[in-house]
Structure 1
Amino acid sequence: MRVLLVSNMYPSAAKPYSGIFVKNQYEFLSRHYKHGYTWHMFAMKRMFTSRFGSLLKYVKSGLNFFGKHLLKKYDVIHLHYFFPLIVVVVVYTFFHPKTKLIVTFHGADVTNAAGNRLFKWVFSRLANNIDYTIAVGSDLKELIEKSLQCQVNRVLCAGINEKVFYPPDHVNKEYDFVFVGSFIYRKGIDIVMDSIKKLNDRSIHFCFVGSGPYMNELKDLQQNHKITILENQSQDELRSIYASSKFLLFPSRDEPFGLVATESIYCGTPIIVSSAGGLKEQVNIGKTGFIANTSEEIINIIRESLKMSEKDYHIMAANCKESNKQYSLSYVCKELKNTYDRLGNT
């Protein structure tokens, strides 16, 4: 069986961890399922461009796809991120009608169009060509079915690499709370910063991993609080940071799944997350973490968590190490392989 994975997000020199989960899936499938399969990857590598530059990038990528793959036959094409590469993939299936098309929706590829009538109409027509639809979270599934009138066949996250994210044998809890993600409004970093201001407790050590528009404001806050800022961390470095933190703090406003939550849990670090999207599906309240949406709720949980006895904290950390196995890369890839088998043999 010939399977082609397609994605408009993939690691590049400019963005080394963009779409890392797609790369992880491709490498895992290629390594563990060799007999009877040939695996192929087409990805548009990410780079910083203007709006016009992005348009040219997509056009060039489409032409590149046709040049490399239009004359080749695949049993299954699995597209990550619906738009815009759905256009070139649909054109491919016009010439190869026996090819089965699977699409995994990751969120922004459909949420940005949910309120635009023209986009919804175009997207729904394109979605009619999909043979099997996957959403990374339950809330996203509902949005897709409502906005695109497209049935979602499966909710399945992108998968966390358990060979990268795991609890170390010995660790020093250097940070009390860690935020991991882009420093943008959607990720809720402003909520965390507001909580720090209101707490006004310089003994609490916060760590922020990422970059973005809130960087300067965060650096101003750093002047009067115990804050560490880390940029461009590798996956191995992230594991160490999670394990060195008592809690992950991630009150995102919109998160179709939110891989960072289970990455933290796999490292044995409990989570404090919002109820947005897939985040609420990853936390077992009181067992592996807590839910907080506002700065007031975060402040209350921070105060209570810092009062937690060492015994109770170790119990919660132990719970994390045994949780969320259904989100592992190995489980996700096994389920994908089974889906390819069913579709490719029909």
Structure 2
Amino acid sequence: MRIGITCYPSHGGSGVVATELGKLLAERGHDIHFITYDMPFRLGRFHQNIRYHGVEAHRYAVFKYPPYDLSLASRMAQVAKEYQLDLLHVHYAVPHAIAAVLAKQMVGDHLKVVTTLHGTDITVLGEDPSLRDVIRFGIQNSDAVTAVSDDLVRQTEELFCVNKEIERIYNFVDTRVYYPRDVEPLRDRCCEKTEKLLLHISNFRAVKRPLDVISIFHRVASEIPARLFLVGEGPEMPKVIQRVQELGLDDKVVFLGKQDEVAQLISLADLLLLPSEKESFGLVALEAMACGVPTIASNAGGIPEVVTHGQNGFLAPVGAIEEMAQYALMLLRDDALHQNFSQAGLDRVKQEFCGLKIADQYEQLYAKVLSR
């Protein structure tokens, strides 16, 4: 198959999944064409079956803002015609599904559109009345629609009342990249042997509740030797730094900024903290599980579909800082329990979230769409 993929190429779960899916499909012999405004950061090394096509939105005097969505649609149509694409697989309804539908109208009905919903386009943009109709239009006019969790399927159907079948296909990890690594020498340089290492990775927006992360860690560190690694950047970071200073945790919290490759960092950790207010899937929790690291998380959104409470992690209500801290201490103090959780997570990744299994599901969906 000849497949065009459009996603946000910057850091973020949707871009990671879209790029990794494209790489897996290319390994299976499909021709993959990434159509984005920048090279996806996870695209990595050259592959003979992968091509990148940039999108440029030029400024014109009559436009207050560069018309990116129109430029994207035009570029999609150009690539579809030149390379005889069979379908466009777009990640996010706005603007990608809208641009793909427009490109299909320019090229012809033989070009199919598959839209994958990742969450923000539904849970955040969908709450904006000015965007609701256009998001619904993108969903309704796609040839197939998928969502990354059952919870997101439910939210989409409730919010948009669409008469469109939405198939749940989970996110995944490449277990050739995410696996428990031998990082003992590196860990010895990062923290004391007696210290437990906790980790949080996010874009540090308020919805991720990074201040809760600091509060949970403060309670843990008051009872056992511990250190916290923070990976990522975002608008809440100044508040996080201030809270760390107020609590006197400067020597225990390490700010690592954005990191392109996090598999080794995750393997360093004993626990991942994910107390998000909203999370359509929780890809970072899945990445942690694949590295043998249990997660302490909120029971928001799709997280319970990834983290099984009491088996490979612990879940608590959003904002339940004390409860999450107690769960963290339980795991950090009991090596046998921690090992059981770690192994249960590895087993679940292989059974439910293996990249090869998810790629099979997408291939079957593509074939069904193209056979209509």
TM-score by length of 1: 0.86
Distance in 2, matches of 1:322 and 1:197, equals 31
CA 1:234–1:75 in 2, change beyond 3 Å: closer, same or farther?
A: closer
2:324 corresponds to:
298
Distance in 1, matches of 2:332 and 2:84, equals 58
1:138 corresponds to:
150
Over aligned residue pairs, what C-alpha RMSD do you find? Answer: 2.7
User: What's the CA shift for 1:27?
Assistant: 1.4
Give yes or no for contact 1:10–1:17 (8 Å, CA) kept in 2: no
Q: Identify which of 255, 278, 290 aligns with 2:302.
A: 278
2:56 corresponds to:
none
Gaps of 5+ in 2: 41-62
CA 1:78–1:257 in 2, change beyond 3 Å: closer, same or farther?
A: same
CA 1:39–1:199 in 2, change beyond 3 Å: closer, same or farther?
A: closer
User: What's the CA shift for 1:103?
Assistant: 0.7
Distance in 1, matches of 2:172 and 2:221, equals 37
Q: Identify which of 337, 342, 345 aligns with 2:363.
A: 337
Give yes or no for contact 1:104–1:134 (8 Å, CA) kept in 2: yes
Q: Does residue 166 in structure 1 map to residue 179 in structure 2?
A: yes
Give yes or no for contact 2:6–2:90 (8 Å, CA) kept in 1: yes
Q: Identify which of 31, 38, 53 aligns with 1:38.
A: 31
Q: Does residue 230 in structure 1 map to residue 256 in structure 2?
A: yes
User: What's the CA shift for 1:277?
Assistant: 1.3
Moved over 6 A (4+): none
Give yes or no for contact 1:80–1:103 (8 Å, CA) kept in 2: yes
Give secondary structure in 1 for the equivalent of 2:3.
strand
CA 1:16–1:198 in 2, change beyond 3 Å: closer, same or farther?
A: closer
TM-score by length of 2: 0.80
User: What's the CA shift for 1:106?
Assistant: 0.7
Give yes or no for contact 1:22–1:158 (8 Å, CA) kept in 2: no
User: What's the CA shift for 1:213?
Assistant: 2.2
2:288 corresponds to:
264
297-306 or 335-344: bigger deviation:
297-306
Give yes or no for contact 1:250–1:273 (8 Å, CA) kept in 2: yes
Q: Does residue 129 in structure 1 map to residue 155 in structure 2?
A: no
Distance in 2, matches of 1:57 and 1:279, equals 33
Q: Identify which of 339, 344, 356 aligns with 1:319.
A: 344
Identity over aligned pairs, percent: 22
Deviations 1:184-242 (A, max 9, x none): 2111211112334455628321111111223233334444221111112232xx11221
CA 1:55–1:159 in 2, change beyond 3 Å: closer, same or farther?
A: farther
User: What's the CA shift for 1:53?
Assistant: 8.9
AA of the residue aligned to 1:91: L
Distance in 2, matches of 1:198 and 1:127, equals 45
Give yes or no for contact 2:5–2:22 (8 Å, CA) kept in 1: yes
AA of the residue aligned to 1:89: A
Distance in 2, matches of 1:339 and 1:64, equals 24
User: What's the CA shift for 1:169?
Assistant: 4.3
Deviations 1:68-111 (A, max 9, x none): 43566432221111111222211222241133221100111122
Question: How do 1:10-21 residues align onto structure 2 when only pairs under 5 Å count?
Answer: 10-11=9-10, 19-21=15-17
Deviations 1:293-342 (A, max 9, x none): 3212122223322332x222222222222122322222211111121122
2:208 corresponds to:
187
AA of the residue aligned to 1:257: F
2:88 corresponds to:
77
Deviations 1:122-173 (A, max 9, x none): 3223322122110011111012112222334311133212111101246458
User: What's the CA shift for 1:55?
Assistant: 4.9
Give yes or no for contact 2:77–2:104 (8 Å, CA) kept in 1: no
Question: How do 1:59-138 residues align onto structure 2 when only pairs under 5 Å count?
Answer: 59-69=70-80, 73-94=84-105, 95-138=107-150
User: What's the CA shift for 1:268?
Assistant: 0.5
Give secondary structure in 1 for the equivalent of 2:125.
coil
Question: How do 1:198-237 residues align onto structure 2 when only pairs under 5 Å count?
Answer: 201=222, 203-223=225-245, 224-225=248-249, 226-235=252-261
Distance in 1, matches of 2:161 and 2:198, equals 41
User: What's the CA shift for 1:20?
Assistant: 2.4
Distance in 2, matches of 1:243 and 1:277, equals 25
Deviations 1:40-90 (A, max 9, x none): 22123389xxxx997544444334334443566432221111111222211
AA of the residue aligned to 1:322: D
Give secondary structure in 2 for the equivalent of 1:166.
coil
CA 1:100–1:67 in 2, change beyond 3 Å: closer, same or farther?
A: closer
Gaps of 5+ in 1: none
Distance in 1, matches of 2:208 and 2:123, equals 15
Q: How many residues align?
A: 333
CA 1:17–1:278 in 2, change beyond 3 Å: closer, same or farther?
A: closer
User: What's the CA shift for 1:2?
Assistant: 2.6
Give secondary structure in 1 for the equivalent of 2:348.
coil
Higher relative contact order (CA 8 A, sep 6+): 1
